[in-house]
Amino acid sequence: MKKILVVDDEEKIRLIIKKYAEFEGYEIDEAADGMEAIQMCKASDYDLIIMDVMMPELDGFSACKEIRKHKDIPVIMLSARGEEYDKIHGFESGVDDYVVKPFSPKELMMRVNVVVSRHSALKEHVAQGPDHDVFTAEGLVVDFTSRLVTVDGVAASMTPKEYDLLFYMIRNKNIALTRERLITEVWGYDYFGDDRTLDTHIKLLRGNLGPYRKFLVTLRGMGYRFEA
């Protein structure tokens, strides 16, 4: 049974999420603040964390960064703020998805299922230990097997979804990729967000690629292409 940690200072929200998640077959633990979440993650392993941003003791962004120092656990962030800046800050902190309050519990569960299944598939692929699959273009080196990207010899620090997006675009290099195709293939068929999430990740990705941002070509009115 997959195990989820729900972190929110509002007990009613924790109970709603727990009710729907248990119905989907997940085991649920609860934490009321970021500090408690960090301690629970040190003591137990989780398949996913659903975490509120604004909490006492320690906010969600800071807690996420601290947890990621020790364990690779996917995170869905909950927030009452839905501005682009807040979403960018969330994705830069390493979250896998960002859900704005008030939210639909059914939609949240759909997002949970997508993130958990994709992360499980990635862990299984890594565990198989295949030979390293590496792409190189000038000073950009992308190791698909190790999920490692280096820019002129320096490792890039990217969010899980940035890796997924970059890997998919490289796998389909020199092909015009529509926005709809990128969202479907990278976020999944059950994605219930808007395409601004894609633009946000492209912006973050370009920032991390430095001089090799030139490889990410915008196709006006259509989408993007990785051209190298």
Specify the pLDDT at position 132: 64
pLDDT digits (tens, 9 = 90+) for 95-121: 888 898 899 999 999 989 888 887 776
Cα 75 from Cα 4, distance rounded (Å):
10
- β-strand pairing of 216-219 with 48-52: unpaired
pLDDT at 122 over 70: no
pLDDT at res. 189 = 57
pLDDT band at residue 142, thresholds of 50, 70 and 90? very high
Of 31-40, 43-52, 63-72, 197-206, least confident by mean pLDDT is 63-72
Beta carbons within 8 Å of 165's beta carbon, 6+ residues apart: 182, 186, 198, 201, 202, 205
Q: Across residues 49-59, what is the average pLDDT?
A: 91
Q: Are 162 and 204 in contact, with CB atoms under 8 Å apart? A: yes
129 pLDDT more than 60: no
Per-residue pLDDT averaged across 218-222, rounded? 93
**Is residue 58 over pLDDT 60?**
yes
pTM of the model: 0.63
Domains of the chain listed by start with CATH number: 3-127 (3.40.50.2300), 134-226 (1.10.10.10)
* Residue 60, both tokens: 């969600």
- Express as a percent the part of the chain with pLDDT over 90: 52
pLDDT on residue 114: 82
The pLDDT tens digits of the residues spanning 167-209 come to 999 999 999 999 989 988 888 755 556 668 888 899 999 999 9
For residues 112 and 123, the answer to whether their CB atoms sit within 8 Å is no
Residue 154 has pLDDT above 80, yes or no: yes
Q: Which of 17-31, 75-89, 117-131, 156-170 has the lowest mean pLDDT?
A: 117-131
Average confidence (pLDDT) over 139-165 = 87
- For the chain, what is the mean pLDDT? 87
Edge-to-edge strands, sheet with 75-79: 27-31, 3-7, 48-52, 75-79, 97-100
Residue 37 has pLDDT above 80, yes or no: yes
The answer to whether 218 touches 224, Cβ cutoff 8 Å, is yes
